[in-house]
Amino acid sequence: MNRNILLEDLSAKDYKETWDYQTNLLQEIVDVKINNRRNNLKNLTKNHFLFVEHPHVYTLGKSGDMSNLLLNEEQLSEKGATFYKINRGGDITYHGPGQIVGYPILDLENFFTDIHKYLRLLEETIILTIAEYGIKGTRSEGETGVWLDVGTPFARKICAMGIRSSRWVTMHGFALNTNVNLGYFDNIIPCGIKGKAVTSMEAELNQKVDLDEVKGKILKHFKTLFEVEEFIISPH
């Protein structure tokens, strides 16, 4: 089992380019696994973790409802935003500058083969990270992601999650609202959940946060929870 993870910070990168890149990395891992099974080999599979900040974009998951996007093509263009229907779970969400997006592309057979556990540990990674800033994140029953003040009229989401897996290899991941412009969420029904607000670390703390510092804390908690041996800077 390989519990090292290749780490790559793509900084600002187009959504479609990143999606294609994720798909290629996933396929490389799946190809090794297929080859191992066919030929009775034991070649190790790689694991990746991508950080990225996307330009304004709305993405709709495979079970999502188009009516949750409240803009037509012309209005999207006016807002400098793009739109993609994609192959992750979940409904609609927004990505944009000032948001930390993390894409773990892991062979879960290197860790544990349990998608439910994978999602809960992703949530826990974010809950522990924002706790370091005095923000109390929790889970909301039946709604993946990290929320604040669940069970009150002030419930609001701070981190969206949606994944896809193939032969126990994951892609897509989480989007933590750090210093993001929350106005862009007004153009959708986030995650298809009516009447639920969205927030950010900046909104909660009344000040901008250092993105690199937050990323460091995410990696620290992810490493502990997933029992990662080492994050290795990717040579890509």
Which residues does the annotation mark as catalytic?
A: 191
175 annotated ligand binder: yes
Structure tokens that stand for 163 in this block: 């994944």
Angle, in degrees to the nearest 10, between helices 211-225 and 115-131: 140
88 annotated ligand binder: yes
Residue found by looking up tokens 């897996």 in the block: 165
Distance between first and last Cα of the chain: 23
60, 119, 151 from 89: Cα distances, Å: 9, 12, 24
183 annotated ligand binder: no
Q: Which of 149, 120, 123 is nearest to 135 (CA)?
A: 149
107 annotated ligand binder: no
Collect all residues with Cβ–Cβ distance below 8 Å to 37 and sequence separation of at least 6. Answer: none
144 annotated ligand binder: no
Give per-residue burial for 16-48: e unless 16+ CB within 10 Å, then b. eebbebbeebbeebbebbeeeeeeeeeeebbbb
210 annotated ligand binder: no
**197 vs 104: CA distance, rounded Å:** 26
95 annotated ligand binder: yes
Structure tokens that stand for 220 in this block: 């620290």
216 annotated ligand binder: no
160 annotated ligand binder: yes
167 annotated ligand binder: no
93 annotated ligand binder: yes
Binding positions for substrate are 88-95, 160-162, 173-175
Binding positions are 88-95, 160-162, 173-175
